Amino acid sequence: MKILLLDKNHPLITEQLSAKGFLLEEDFTSTYDEVLKKIETYDGIIIRSRIPIDKNFIEHAKNLKFIARVGAGMENIDVEFAHKSGIKLISSPEGNRDSVAEHVVGMLLILMNRLFIASTEVKNGIWKREENRGDELLGKTFGIIGYGNMGKAVAKRLSGFGVSVIFHDIIPNLSDEFATQTTMETLYRDADILSLHLPLSAETNYLIDEEFISKMKKDFYFINTARGKNVKTQDLVKAIKSGKIKGAALDVLEYEKASFENIESGNEDLQYLLHSEKAILTPHIAGWTVQSKEKLAQVIVDKILSDFSKS
């Protein structure tokens, strides 16, 4: 099989697949239109987010048997049309779930204990104790929306913190030793902290908006390591200003470009978040560790070999 790699990833992908007899070609610079001219000669492609795999792309890829994304989300792919075209879709959420979980807990602890603010002040000769009094996780209810690989990993990490973890998911009967499945009504009522672990779809686009926030009974902390467009930033900022959202830890932003490589600056709400002490922002790196880079690649290789290797 002939495979085209459209993004840079861990070299083990090329090494291991080549060793199994696959023919791999790397192309990290060609544009969408340039790739279209040659895509029909490939049996598989391995991507991250650089090039959208839309209906037009798939129609040109007449021999394509699989699309493998090194990551979790598949919103950059026309999933429905790919399925109709008989193309196998492969992703690797197992590879960075641990990284995401640690990032969630890390951001939350920094936010609730004002660690970044206090550290910056001390380094600038400012010594404030009462003003930097923290807020403990112990005894709080941690709410998760989406209990897949990421949500489960977060719940597992929280097991030693003395929190009650609840979650909502459209798939039933997912409760385990780390978290209890609930209705959205229960989550609205009980959650002190809310963390998103959802794909981006028509149903989840702007899920967190003014109406959703108004249903939360408590003032709460908010974490998003899923997708920026799961949240309507204008409404998030309004809730931070009012105190309804006590603080936000955001690894993803509505204003990210489709490739996740940068953000569109100049927006008033984004500027507020950039300068607010109640917001912690990171550049879409929750799943971005030294270890996850290798694990993501290994999961992709293992799945390709499982489905397409003859040896």
> Looking at 50, 157, 227, 254, which residue is catalytic?
227
Could you confirm whether 177 is annotated as catalytic? no
Furthest CA-CA distance within the chain: 66
Could you confirm whether 114 is annotated as catalytic? no
Nearest CA to 217 out of 184, 247, 190, 183 is that of: 190
> Looking at 69, 197, 254, 256, which residue is catalytic?
256
Stated length of the chain: 311
Could you confirm whether 284 is annotated as catalytic? yes
Q: How far apart are CA 250 and CA 221, in angstroms?
A: 11
Cβ-proximal residues to 269 (8 Å cutoff; 6+ apart), any chain: 233, 234, 236, 237
Catalytic residues: 227, 256, 284
